[in-house]
Homo-oligomer: A and B are copies of this chain.
Amino acid sequence: MPDRNRQILLVETPKGKLGPEHFRLAEAPMPTPKPGEVLARVRYISLDAANRAWMQGATYRSAVEAGSVMAGGALAEIVASDSPALVPGDLVFADTGWQDYAALPAKRAVKLPQLEPLTHLLSVYGVAGLTAYVGLLRVGRPQPGETVAVSAAAGSVGSLVGQIAKIKGCRVVGIAGGAEKCAWLTGTLGFDAAVDYKTGTLAKRLKEAAPDGIDVYFDNVGGDVLEACLFQMNLRGRIACCGAVSQYDGAPQPHGPRGVPGLLVVKRLTMQGFIVMDYESERAAATAELKSWVDAGKLKVQEDIIDGLENTPAALIGLLAGENRGKRMVRVG
């Protein structure tokens, strides 16, 4: 075990777009677990658009303060433990932050099963998979034959949402940035149509891709894409509000989408925000069903793995720019 611990600090709260200048690689002494704590070695850091949102202020968690280790969930291995619940060698998911090692209360670490590839614990069997599963099935509640649209469709959550909707017998339209991602959605993941939001008029192209309208829209982005989808929603449609990545990096739009609340009334729409933490009780059953689909080859798991703790800032900046396809994570050690 080294005697120094590499850490990535958030040195400044970004006012506009996130850049490398907001981070700094530092070294600290190895942390020492206090009573009830464990020492965990970080294996893979999960990168999520939400990381950026945390810098803006309190959300469903407190804000990440400038000068502290950047927060983030990771797959980690226990190397020392003062708790009977965890022993060295155990794999856990925890908010370790962006560093090689973290000392944290044992009760803040969720023990994970051993499976291969390990990285699936951060993608389809992790937050992304459960988010897609409960957001689509519990909040969106699609019926067979309905049209489901999903934004950030080539991302970690979106790529699973679309495939789960296909498994459930829906017509699926993905919204993503760039022709290459769109071709991947329809060619590899089996989406029925894909719309490149960077090209042409979104409203028009969405109408072509969803000629019968949209029954369920799984919203990862907010902003203009949400507005365009609102106008295409069918009577009694449901919008599952998962995130608003278009609003996280840089100044958010000073207003919301047109059609709120007018279209909600006229079309009897439901918009519902959700956070995956609220569905912890569903995790075991959802993971089992996701696994059955993966094992049967019905659900393709795309991962985008970047090497080296020092590359984590660039990996997040790239994720916010839409670089990744599937679940992005950083292999630390």
Q: Which stretch of A17-25, A100-108, A165-173, A255-263 is in the interface? A: A255-263
Is there an interface contact between A259 and B256, defined as CB atoms closer than 8 Å? Answer: yes
Residue numbers in B under 8 Å from A274 (CB-CB): 265, 268
- A258: contacting residue among B243, B255, B268, B278, CB under 8 A: B255
Copies of the polypeptide in the assembly: 2
Separation of A219 and B260 alpha carbons in the complex (Å): 11
Least CB distance, A206 to chain B, in whole angstroms = 17
The smallest beta-carbon distance between A71 and chain B, in angstroms, is 16
Chain B residues near A288 (CB-CB < 8 A): none
Complex: A15 Cα to B38 Cα, angstroms: 67
Complex contacts, A268 vs chain B, CB 8 Å: 272-275, 278
Q: Given the complex, which residues of B lie within 8 Å of A261, measured CB to CB?
A: 219, 222, 226, 239, 241, 244, 256, 271, 273
Count residues of chain A with CB under 8 A from any CB of chain B: 36
Q: Is the CB of B252 within 8 A of A255?
A: no
Closest to A50 in B: B265
Could you tell me if B254 and A256 are in contact, using CB atoms closer than 8 angstroms?
Answer: no
Q: B-facing mask of A25-63, CB < 8 A → 1, else 0?
A: 000000000000000000000000000000000011000
Ordered nearest first, which 3 A-B pairs have the shortest CB separation?
A: A264-B273, A256-B260, A256-B256
Besides the known contacts A226-B260, A261-B273, A270-B272, 16 further A-B residue pairs in the complex with CB atoms under 8 A apart: A222-B260, A222-B262, A241-B261, A241-B265, A244-B262, A255-B256, A261-B271, A263-B273, A264-B272, A266-B273, A268-B273, A268-B274, A268-B275, A268-B278, A269-B273, A270-B273
Q: List 7 A-B contacts (CB under 8 A).
A: A60-B266, A244-B261, A247-B262, A256-B257, A268-B278, A270-B271, A270-B273
